[in-house]
Amino acid sequence: MSFLSQPILWGLFAATIPVIIHLLNRRRFRTVKWAATSFLLKASRESRGKKKLKHFLILACRALAIAALIFAVARPLIGGFLGSGSGSVGTVVLILDRSASMETKPGSGQLSHRQSVINKIAEAVENMGSPRLVLIDSASGEIQEVPSPDALSELSTTYATDTRADIPTLLTKAIDYLDETNPGQSEIWVASDLQRGDWQPSDSRWGAIQAGLEGLPTKTNLRILTAGEETVENLTLELLASRRIEDDLFLDLKLTRLEGDGTTTIPITYSLKGTRNSERVTMNGQELRFQKRFPLTAADPEGYGWVGIPPDNNPRDNSVYFAFGGKEPVKSWIVSEDPTSPTAGYLQKAAAPAGFERYSCEVVAPTQTTKIDWATASLIIWQAPIPTGAVASQLNDFVTSGGSALFFPPNQPSPGVIFGTSWGEIVDAPADQFFINGTWIKDDGPWQNGTNDTALPVDQVRGVKRRSIQGDGSSLAEWDDGSPLLYRQLEGLGTSIFISTLPDDRWSNIEFVALHLVAIQRLLEQGTDRLHAGYRAVAGSDKARAREDEVRERLDTFEDYEPALEHYRAGVYRLGDRTIAVNRPSEENSPTRIDEEALDELLKGTSYTLFANDDSKSDLVSEAWRAFLVAVLLFLLAEALLCLQPKSTGRPSLKASANTSPAS
């Protein structure tokens, strides 16, 4: 409980006035022993204890009535959000999460979490006597003083965006602000849905945040207002990749739903350069990946469009946007310890299949890597000892920037390490036996199921020779003894894949079941997607921001353009000579939240309270002076009832006569 007029609480000393009066009254009488009344003491001894109790109750009612009156005048505040607060708060620093996930609504026709929390915070600040309110929003990250709680919802810095929130950075800014300005009694309020990608629990800055909160000049409480724990029904549409191959545009899309796992049909609307068409997809489970192909012509050197699903409980995750340019050549390179070997030939045919003019692949020896054009390459296939020095650095930069690398085991010893991974010894299968596949992940990686959930023949893999893989990556497929068959390391924007055997009948039957071909083609798609990255940007990033000499114009027709939100909203924009498709960050497509246990660990040793904004009728803070006034009336009424004397009947008793003084 906190109070708007805390100095008035000094008046609680007035509650001692009835006690002082009682003690002074006791000093007015002097006890005189009188033998004639000694027989009366014995008669009244039994009722003396009840009289004392009655007097104490009357005294307590008078003191409590005065105390309740003082509390009422001091204007106490109560509420779940500030229930454990104390003192008068002079400054509130509000960290507002404006990420796309904050637009989720608990039900149809209700306010989003962002809108609801803004209204409740404005009401709470007003009920507190309108302390100084400082806003730090997640989109701009700027520190802004709000002139009035009523103006909070009208500020463009509180509008919905398609960005993500960086809570560790925002908390650090709030702590630095309070440390520099030292505004006195302050509190930090965080309005967020606790999305894991926004809070980044593995970030190393949380220790410094804990120390910063404890090291502020005045004790500062941290209040966290989050969404309720109940999961609402919502569909999320995500664009995984977009690329132009010859005269076709391919979009890799994913649908995710939070509730339900049965079969449902979902209408999808596509718009390409203003022309719309629709289709329905059948979703079984909580996730569906599918691909859309748009035929293009020579008259389509560039273009743009969007994909949308019907409105639901979060309008910010119902659409994705794309833009494309002219044809890009798909170039790959094979670094082989023996460029003339049959293995190198198998790999080259898989990377540049016949009939695809824009696909090309060149085989070079480890000593010829200067020929590689790293800037235009989509895929690097490495079947040689792991490189070191400058070549290793070039390969690392290539993958980190979004390129794909596929490693096959060399015949020669390979002591090098790249992406935290190295080759071990060559192992031969026992005589007349094979290494067989044990398990593999069917919904991730280059051997995942097809777009129609068709399983690849990974279970048919047989090997007679393999090389062990050592590292801290993840196994996407394993041999029956648990050793890696297909192994992945993610680096920056790119992917590196290691396969522990070769598509050579002296090693395995991978060439026969064509799994090397599938892996190469899928990695080529990922690497080629990097070449189209010039047409894509993430909401809130510098790339989505207009430069000084550029004018922003929205091209798509999915929703109206809001100039005040600048580069914080998804859509297709023309920025000068650039055409950019802006989408929300991938982190905003994940429904995963951190729980209270994880939050306790992040804020260990700090004074914080967690309030769930899952009740539309609950208030963050409210005044309770009326309750104390009622208490005053109840205490006075009780005191009056206790002071009533019982009616006397018949002749006066001896006790009454003995207590009457001669002077009366």
Is the fold of 91-231+597-620 the same as that of 235-326+533-589? Answer: no
Q: Determine the average pLDDT of the residues in 139-163.
A: 93
What does the pLDDT read at residue 647? 62
Question: 6 pLDDT exceeds 80?
Answer: no
Tens of pLDDT, residues 541-593: 999 999 888 899 999 988 888 888 889 999 999 998 889 999 999 989 888 88
User: Which sequence spans correspond to the domains of the chain?
Assistant: 2-35+44-78+625-647, 91-231+597-620, 235-326+533-589, 330-531
Per-residue model confidence as pLDDT tens digits over 44-63:
554 566 677 777 787 788 77
Report pLDDT digits (tens) over 56-88: 787 788 778 787 777 777 666 555 444 444 447
Question: Sign of the C-alpha dihedral, residues 345, 346, 348, 353?
Answer: positive
Going through 551-607 in order, the beta strands assigned E by DSSP cover: 552-554, 571-575, 578-583
- Which is higher by pLDDT, 569 or 39? 569
pLDDT in the model for residue 638 = 76
Say which residue, 247 or 255, is predicted with more confidence: 255
pLDDT score of 613: 66
Cα dihedral across residues 243, 244, 245, 251: positive or negative: positive
Task: With CA atoms as reference, report the closest residue to 400 among 527, 587, 266, 534.
Answer: 527
Q: What is the pLDDT of residue 300?
A: 76
Q: What percent of the chain has pLDDT over 90?
A: 49
pLDDT of residue 189: 94
Give the per-residue pLDDT at 298: 72
Q: Which fold has domain 235-326+533-589?
A: Immunoglobulin-like (2.60.40)
Mean pLDDT of the 462-468 span? 95
**What's the mean pLDDT in 369-383?**
92
Partners of 469 in the β-ladder: 423
pLDDT-derived band at 36 (thresholds 50, 70, 90) equals low
- Rounded average pLDDT over 647-659: 49
Q: What is the pLDDT of residues 102-127, one digit of tens each?
A: 999 887 778 999 998 998 888 888 77
In the block, residue with structure tokens 């941290």: 222
Are 137 and 173 spatial neighbours (Cβ–Cβ below 8 Å)?
A: no
* pLDDT recorded at residue 107: 79
Q: Alpha-carbon distance 644 to 591, whole Å?
A: 66
For strand 143-146 and strand 132-137, is the pairing parallel, antiparallel, or unpaired? Answer: antiparallel
Sheet hosting strand 404-407, strand order edge to edge: 359-364, 330-336, 377-383, 404-407, 494-499, 484-491, 474-479, 435-440, 462-463
User: Could you read off the pLDDT of 321-357 as tens digits, one per residue?
Assistant: 999 887 777 899 999 999 999 999 989 999 988 777 7
Assign 100 a pLDDT band (cuts: 50, 70, 90).
very high
Fold exhibited by the domain 91-231+597-620? Rossmann fold (3.40.50)
Helix H, strand E, coil C: the string for 118-141 is HHHHHHHHHHCCCCEEEEEECCCC
State pLDDT tens for residues 482-507: 999 999 999 888 899 999 999 999 99
| 663: confidence class by pLDDT, cuts 50, 70, 90 | very low
* pLDDT at residue number 21: 72
* Distance from C-alpha of 121 to C-alpha of 620, rounded to nearest angstrom: 7
Residue with tokens 């965006």: 161
Instruction: Say if residues 239 and 252 touch (Cβ distance below 8 Å).
Output: yes
What pLDDT score does 575 carry? 92
Is residue 441 predicted with pLDDT exceeding 80? Answer: yes
The tokens for 362 are: 């060149």
The mean pLDDT of 391-401, rounded to a whole number, is 93
At 257-298, the pLDDT tens digits run 887 778 899 999 999 988 999 999 999 888 898 999 999 887
Residue 368 DSSP symbol: G
Tokens of 124: 């709470």
Tell me what pLDDT residue 101 has. Answer: 92
- 3-state helix vs strand vs coil in the chain, percent to 5: 35, 30, 40
Mean residue pLDDT across the chain:
84
pLDDT at position 662 over 50: no
Q: Look at the block and give the residue holding tokens 């995942």.
A: 448
Angstrom distance (rounded) from CA 143 to CA 513: 59
Instruction: Kindly provide the b/e burial profile for residues 19-32, where b requires at least 16 CB atoms within 10 angstroms of the residue's own CB.
Output: eeeeeeeeeeeeee
Confidence tier at 165 by pLDDT (50, 70, 90): very high
Q: What is the pLDDT of residue 395?
A: 95
Q: Where are the beta strands (DSSP E) in 297-452?
A: 303-308, 319-324, 330-336, 359-364, 377-383, 404-407, 421-428, 435-440
Rounded CA-CA distance 59/22 in Å is 8
Would you give the DSSP letter of residue 104? -
Tokens of 134: 């400082």
Q: What is the DSSP string of 238-278?
A: EEEEEEEETTEEEEEEEEEESS--SEEEEEEEEEETTEEEE
- Maximum C-alpha span of the chain: 136
Helix (H, G, I), strand (E, B) or coil at 369: helix
The mean-pLDDT minimum among 58-62, 142-146, 374-378 falls in 58-62
Residue 240 and residue 255 in contact, taking contact as beta carbons nearer than 8 Å:
no
Query: No. of H helices and E strands in the chain?
Result: 13, 31
Residue 108: C-alpha distances to residues 257, 268, 570 (Å)? 16, 21, 23
Would the pLDDT of 464 be above 70? Answer: yes
CB 162 within 8 A of CB 316: yes
The token pair that represents 499 in the structure block: 């396969």
Contacts of 15-22 with CB under 8 Å at 24 or more apart are: 15/63, 15/64, 15/66, 15/67, 15/70, 16/63, 17/66, 18/59, 18/62, 18/63, 18/66, 19/59, 19/63, 22/59
Contact predicate 76/14, CB 8 Å: no
Express each pLDDT in 606-639 by its tens digit: 888 888 765 444 455 555 667 777 877 887 787 7
CATH of 330-531, one of 3.30.1490.100, 3.40.50.880, 3.30.70.2190, 3.40.50.2000: 3.40.50.880
Phi, psi of 294 (to 5 degrees): -110, 115
